[in-house]
Amino acid sequence: MNDKAAEKVQARSPRSPIGLVAGGEDGDRGHTVSRLLGRMRHSAFQGRKLGEAFEVWQRMIDGDGLICLGLAGSLASAGLAPLVTWLVERGYVDLIASTSANASEDLLEARGARFFQVDPEHVDDAELWRQGFYRFYDHVVGATDYDAMEDFTRGFFEALAIRSTAPALPGVRFMHEFGRWLDGQGLGATIAATCFRHRVPLFVPAAPDGPLAEGYRTARAKGPVVDFFADYEIALRIMARYMPPGPGTSAVFLGGGVPKDFLQITATSVKAIRGDDAPSPHLAAIQITTDNNVFGGLGGASVASECISWGKEAQDGLNVMLFADVTIALPLLCQGLLERYGAGHTRRARAAIETDLAAVLDG
């Protein structure tokens, strides 16, 4: 091995990186997941990447930069919405870009709907239709409950039409008002309501692709117009404040798709606005996905390679590509962060960031 190659090789810990947590060293002290993730960092394959993701997320939290979160797919129906609100409450994310499903389907359980597990390999979908169930791969919800949730959102559009006097408003303000309305309806544990209370910008670039579309369709009063291009202008103002020479931006992508690209493409626009030759990338990124980037989907492109060619991620950044199911990886990472920082912890930089972002949004 030549010297240049040797510089890229990190020595593995001489101790066994993974093993049963036995009595004596770790026994019964509670901090088992965080220690396990630390040991996995010195392992291999996706176990190593999970440990690296845990390490990088801690560095994001300990820093002063803006932490963005991309929420793809339908994680809310899988029961992960409480983890997202937990991250918001502790300041472990400062800005969210989400699919419409994740920003609204957490209303189902909040309103008392029940999910039921099914065997995805043997379930009869025609029979589910006859019995009145909608399927999310391996779990189902009653069609009556889902339809009622969609109809429930109609009240938001009617209330907004009465309250707002502006002819148009940005999508991020639209979601802020949605969160305010949910909070007033006693649904404060939802993602949108939690973002509202903590002044966390919630961008939903494809808001009609979900339950809100049906709520809008059935609303007796509609207005104002939602300007999603204004969203991008606001996102650019935020990113330009934090991208170097500011304290920097970082991102955690749960899946890929539109939320990931929305957050990443801001880097190319900030560079164009500044007119600099140097890129304005996120300084750290974690993507958790089961997608395979060889099929050409930009949302699935590795944050550690292809995205660098666009200037979206830093060449020397803390970029971790973790190929794993989000429903496995995110609970482990959140439990590890809980053990690492303690139950009452709030990120030190959060108060200043909240004030700063509120000024941008209100302005």
The residues assigned a catalytic role are 312
Strand pairing category for 66-71 and 95-98: parallel
Long-range contacts of 228-231 (CB under 8 A, 24+ apart): 228/170, 228/171, 230/168, 230/169, 230/170, 230/171, 231/170, 231/171, 231/172, 231/203, 231/205
Q: Which two tokens stand for residue 107?
A: 């209303």
199 with 183: CB under 8 angstroms? no
CA–CA gap between residue 104 and residue 97 (Å, rounded): 13
Let me know: does 259 contact 253? Beta carbons within 8 Å.
Answer: yes
Whether residue 98 contacts residue 258, with contact meaning beta carbons closer than 8 Å, is answered with no
Task: Give 168's contacts (C-beta < 8 A, 6+ positions apart).
Answer: 224, 225, 226, 227, 230
If residue 202 lies in a helix (H) or strand (E), which one and from where to where? strand 202-203
| Contact assessment for residue 85 and residue 189, using Cβ atoms and an 8 Å cutoff | yes
